[in-house]
């Protein structure tokens, strides 16, 4: 693909880019033979064979899209990385990791040094908090947690030692939407790096680099793969940070297996239709729940009551299929009774797959900078590709069981 064709590709709608991206002729065809197959095959490799010693000596480690050694990737993973890069118009490149947590760690360890201060959003994913309170603390990085709704006021927390700001919007348990452009602007002015966990929206709903963020992290495990059968993470960076991200990933030996990259590529092609359908169904279920007497509050970025809803309406191109609600009363046992009685919602961690899930979550103990004002036991819902009327009917019957447990 010539540079010129590349430029045109970036102007096309995201759904079109998802179909075209990463399918270079040299990864899907045979030399000297026109045409080729549709999907890049699985290129499994550790050893790469060279023609002779001169060829081996001439190979440059780190040259993009040249076979060198298996750890440096092969066309299957290059294709996925390139496709993810093409989803972010401001991106320079993407590295792949064996999980979302590995990607988060990869971004942190690329940027942070002993003595640095690191601003971390208080609503962040639990394992990200564990990295800050564990590994980062051990290597002398001080984490300061901040209110997800802080916006441009984050300037007050920035010091000479602040090296990076981590965002996650919306939070994947409590769904506060951050003012991403305001925080990115404060950081840019001061030479502070911004990185976002963009797993909920993906670049499809929030092209974060276009809003001034430097580094966008995905747990591809969720929507990119979309079928609940692969663990993977990615880090996409702008021109200024791309070399740093790539070099650190290479140093740490981070990569994704070609089989997993192939499955993630397959998932990526249908990302737009899955997210559109799951998003529409989730919003319909959220609105239905909002009108129910058994529900105290629904936390869904597209509903006006959600903290940060205005930022969502301004910055996002839609809503994903993950949200939460609080029950109007009861405790642990009654919440468990409700979830156990749902026939169509699996009980398990993770989300973004094609199947619906329900999970009891307790965010209060996962905060230090802000207090979680709980109105009732919280249930997080991943809406899958089932018919939404069936999902609503399922909740209807489960609420009957819950009311019985509550003696109502």
Ligand X SMILES: *Cc1c(COP(=O)(O)O)cnc(C)c1O
Active site (annotated) includes residue 222? yes
Catalytic residue among 8, 71, 161, 314: 71
Catalytic residue status for 71: yes
Look at residues 72, 293, 315, 41 and name the one whose alpha carbon lies nearest to residue 170. 315
Tell the smallest beta-carbon distance from residue 184 to ligand X (Å): 19
Q: x/- string (CB under 6 A) for ligand X, residues 129-168?
A: ----------------------------------------
By C-alpha distance, which of 77, 146, 136, 134 is closest to 108?
Answer: 136
CB of 208 to ligand X, least distance (A): 13
**Marked catalytic residue, from 197, 214, 315, 394:** 197
Structure letter (DSSP) for residue 132: I
How much helix, strand and coil, in percent to the nearest 5, is found in the chain? 45, 15, 40
Cα separation of 29 and 35, whole Å? 6
| Binding piece for ligand X, criterion CB under 6 A, among 94-102, 136-144, 277-285, 309-317 | 94-102
231 part of the interface to ligand X, by CB under 6 A: yes
Q: Which is nearer to ligand X, 100 or 203 (CB)?
A: 100
Determine, following the binding rule CB under 6 A, whether residue 353 of this chain makes contact with ligand X: no
Q: Determine which residue in the list 233, 301, 307, 376 makes contact with ligand X, applying CB under 6 A.
A: 233
Give yes or no for residue 345 binding ligand X (CB under 6 A).
no
> How many alpha carbons lie under 13 Å from residue 56 in its C-beta half-sphere?
8
Is 179 annotated as catalytic?
no
Q: Is 272 in the site for ligand X (CB under 6 A)?
A: no
Give me 134's structure tokens. Answer: 């564990």
Q: Is 359 in the site for ligand X (CB under 6 A)?
A: no
Residue with tokens 């981590």: 166
Q: Which of 319, 355, 343, 337 is nearest to 395 (CA)?
A: 343
Q: Is 211 in the site for ligand X (CB under 6 A)?
A: no
Q: Which is nearer to ligand X, 99 or 401 (CB)?
A: 99
Catalytic residue among 17, 72, 129, 222: 222
Residue 17 vs 367, nearer CB to ligand X: 367
CB of 228 to ligand X, least distance (A): 11
Region label for 19, one of left (φ > 0), alpha (ψ between -120 and 50) or beta (otherwise): alpha
Of 73-81, 98-106, 108-116, 136-144, which segment contacts ligand X by CB under 6 A?
A: 98-106
Judged by CB under 6 A, which stretch of 18-26, 107-115, 215-223, 250-258 contacts ligand X?
A: 215-223
Q: Are 128 and 263 in contact (CB under 8 A)?
A: no
Residue 28, number of CB atoms within 10 A of its CB: 17
* DSSP secondary structure, 217-269, as one string: EEETTTTTT-SS----EEEEE-HHHHHHHHHHHHHTT----HHHHHHHHHHHH
| Tokens standing for residue 339 | 């979830």
Q: Is 125 a catalytic residue?
A: yes
User: Considering the rule CB under 6 A, would residue 197 count as an interface residue with ligand X?
Assistant: yes
- Binding status of residue 100 toward ligand X by CB under 6 A: yes
332: how many CB neighbours lie within 10 A of its CB?
Answer: 10
Q: How far apart are CA 391 and CA 393, in angstroms?
A: 5
CB of 235 to ligand X, least distance (A): 12
Q: How many CB atoms lie within 10 A of CB 326?
A: 18
How many residues at the interface with ligand X, by CB under 6 A? 13
- Rule CB under 6 A: choose which of 27, 43, 125, 223 binds ligand X: 125
The residue (of 79 and 199) whose beta carbon lies closer to ligand X is 199
Instruction: Based on the shown chain and the rule CB under 6 A, indicate whether residue 97 belongs to the binding site for ligand X.
Output: no
- Quick one: tokens of 260? 């997993």
Query: How many angstroms separate the CA atoms of 147 and 149, rounded?
Result: 5
Query: In the set 86, 172, 174, 382, which binds ligand X (CB under 6 A)?
Result: 172
Q: Which residues bind ligand X (CB under 6 A)?
A: 99-101, 125, 172, 197, 199, 219, 221-222, 231, 233, 350
Q: Which residues are catalytic?
A: 71, 125, 197, 222
């Amino acid at each position: 693909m010539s540079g010129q064709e590349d430029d045109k590709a970036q102007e096309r709608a995201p759904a079109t880019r998802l179909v075209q991206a990463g399918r270079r002729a040299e990864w899907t065809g045979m030399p000297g033979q026109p045409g080729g197959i549709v999907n890049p095959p699985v290129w499994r490799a550790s050893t790469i064979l060279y023609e002779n010693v001169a060829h081996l000596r001439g190979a440059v480690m780190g040259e993009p899209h040249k076979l060198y050694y298996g750890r440096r990737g092969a066309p299957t993973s290059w294709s996925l990385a390139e496709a993810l890069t093409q989803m972010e118009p401001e991106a320079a490149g993407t590295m792949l990791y064996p999980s979302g947590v590995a990607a988060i760690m990869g971004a942190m360890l690329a940027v942070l040094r002993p003595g640095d201060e690191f601003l971390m959003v208080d609503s962040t994913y639990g394992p990200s908090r564990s990295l800050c309170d564990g590994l980062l603390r051990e290597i002398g990085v001080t984490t300061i947690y901040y209110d997800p709704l802080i916006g441009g006021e984050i300037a007050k927390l920035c010091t000479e030692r602040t090296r990076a700001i981590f965002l996650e919007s919306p939070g994947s348990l409590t769904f506060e939407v951050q003012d991403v452009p305001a925080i990115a602007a404060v950081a840019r002015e001061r030479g502070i790096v911004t990185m976002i966990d963009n797993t909920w929206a993906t670049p499809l709903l929030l092209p974060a680099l276009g809003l001034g963020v430097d580094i966008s992290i995905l747990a591809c495990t969720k929507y990119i793969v979309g079928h609940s059968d692969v663990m993977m993470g990615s880090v996409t960076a702008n021109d200024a940070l791309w070399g740093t991200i790539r070099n650190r990933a290479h140093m740490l030996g981070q990569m994704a297996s070609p089989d997993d990259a192939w499955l993630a590529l397959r998932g990526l092609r249908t990302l737009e239709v899955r997210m559109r359908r799951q998003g529409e169904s989730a919003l319909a279920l959220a609105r239905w729940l909002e009108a129910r007497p058994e529900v105290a509050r629904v936390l869904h970025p597209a509903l006006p009551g959600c903290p940060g809803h205005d930022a969502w309406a301004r910055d996002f191109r839609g809503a994903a299929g993950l949200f939460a609600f609080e029950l109007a009363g009861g405790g642990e046992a009654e919440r468990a009774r409700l979830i156990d009685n749902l026939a169509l919602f699996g009980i398990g961690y993770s989300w973004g797959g094609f199947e619906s899930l329900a999970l009891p979550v307790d965010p209060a103990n996962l905060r230090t900078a802000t207090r979680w004002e709980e109105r009732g036991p919280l249930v997080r819902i991943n809406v899958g590709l089932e018919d939404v009327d069936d999902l609503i009917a399922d909740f209807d019957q489960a609420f009957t069981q819950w009311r019985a447990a509550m003696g109502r």
